[in-house]
Amino acid sequence: GAGVSQTPSNKVTEKGKYVELRCDPISGHTALYWYRQSLGQGPEFLIYFQGTGAADDSGLPNDRFFAVRPEGSVSTLKIQRTERGDSAVYLCASSTHSGNEQFFGPGTRLTVL
């Protein structure tokens, strides 16, 4: 079946702009995760959803970052007033309710000029 998909694959924006990154998880997966990966680093946890609610948002760096999952499927990561330091690959993953194996999407490469 289809894996996790993310759109867009690349996003270039200017400092101060607002961006939205979308994640379509594997059908039936109730858990959804967002990570951020800087060049040469491992993915860094941002937020985890179980269904529609954010079960753990401890990784969001500041209040410019926000994520939603209104119907318990697709999720959107929103970044306000983007800064150059926000440039990274944003990865989404999904899993079954209590599954340990997380399935990752290809990521969205965000570049803030």
Partner 1 sequence: GESVGLHLPTLSVQEGDNSIINCAYSNSASDYFIWYKQESGKGPQFIIDIRSNMDKRQGQRVTVLLNKTVKHLSLQIAATQPGDSAVYFCAEKSGGYQKVTFGTGTKLQVIP
Query: Does 105 engage in binding with partner 1 (CB under 8 A)?
Result: yes
Nearer to partner 1, 38 or 80 (CB): 38
Other beta carbons within 10 angstroms of residue 50's beta carbon come to 16
DSSP string for 52-105: TEEEE-TT--STTEEEE-TTSS-EEEEE-S--GGG-EEEEEEEE-TT-SPPEE-
Q: Give the residue, chosen from 12, 18, 28, 56, that forms a contact with partner 1 under the rule CB under 8 A.
A: 56
CA-CA-CA-CA torsion sign (59, 47, 53, 81)? positive
Q: Give the residue, chosen from 91, 94, 110, 112, that forms a contact with partner 1 under the rule CB under 8 A.
A: 91
Q: Give the residue, chosen from 40, 62, 63, 71, that forms a contact with partner 1 under the rule CB under 8 A.
A: 40
Residues that bind partner 1 (CB under 8 A): 4, 31, 33, 37, 39-45, 48, 50, 55-56, 58-59, 91, 93, 95, 100-107
